[in-house]
Structure 1
Amino acid sequence: MVPSVTVTDRTKAHLEELRAKIRLETGRTVTQQELLEWIVLEAVESTDELIDPFRDEFEPLTDDEIDRWLSGTVSSGVETDESDIDRFRYD
């Protein structure tokens, strides 16, 4: 037995539109199942493109939040240049 997947009428209409375009372009008739299988296989090969639309949108910090974050930054009063960093890092 083949499991079924419930899709909306809108999705069915899109599938039928795609099937019609395939038939016009290639002369070949494909079933909805063939089309869905191909779509899923393509999605598996480009997983990042599939997942990205489902990610939460990035919301940058507000100016107040940035100021609050930076208020915890403390100056030591000592100037540091690249040679100091290199000396501490590599010596």
Structure 2
Amino acid sequence: MTTAVKVDDEAKARLEELQAEIRLEAGKNVTQQELLSRLIDDAYDSREDVVDSFRESTVPASEADIDAFLDDTFDSGTETDEADIDDILYG
């Protein structure tokens, strides 16, 4: 059973370009359906990366987020070096 999937012109062009590259480099003709199935299989194996690619990026932080963070910080007046931090964290 096949189902039609609508893609924009840019995605269609990139799919055709990849299809042509497979034909040239691997010497094998593949249909767009075969190619999409392979891409989906590969994406399924690394689905965590695919899901993450749809998350809203928080890096780098926006200026508003940086300002909000800095608004809640203060200088305690105590000087701290790496040894102090290591001692606090690792005992």
TM-score range, shorter chain: 0.5 to 0.7
Percent of aligned pairs with the same amino acid: 40
Letter of the 1:10 partner, please give it. Answer: E
CA distance in 2, matches of 1:24, 1:8: 25
Once the two structures are superposed, residues 30-71 of structure 1 have per-residue CA deviations (whole angstroms, 9 ceiling, x without a partner) of 0000000000010011112212221112136334x3355457
Q: How many residue pairs align between the two structures? A: 74
Q: Which consecutive unaligned segments of at least 5 residues does structure 1 have? A: 72-81, 87-91
> Is residue 2 of structure 2 the alignment partner of residue 27 of structure 1?
no
Q: Which runs of structure 1 show a deviation greater than 2 angstroms over 4 or more consecutive aligned residues?
A: 59-63, 65-71
Q: TM-score, normalised by structure 1?
A: 0.65
Written as runs of structure 1 = structure 2, the 5 A alignment for 1:51-66 is 51-58=51-58, 59=61, 61-63=65-67, 65-66=68-69
Q: TM-score, normalised by structure 2?
A: 0.65
CA distance in 2, matches of 1:14, 1:27: 19
Q: Which consecutive unaligned segments of at least 5 residues does structure 2 have? A: 75-86
> Is residue 2 of structure 2 the alignment partner of residue 2 of structure 1?
yes
TM-aligned CA distance change 1:27 to 1:66, over 3 Å: closer
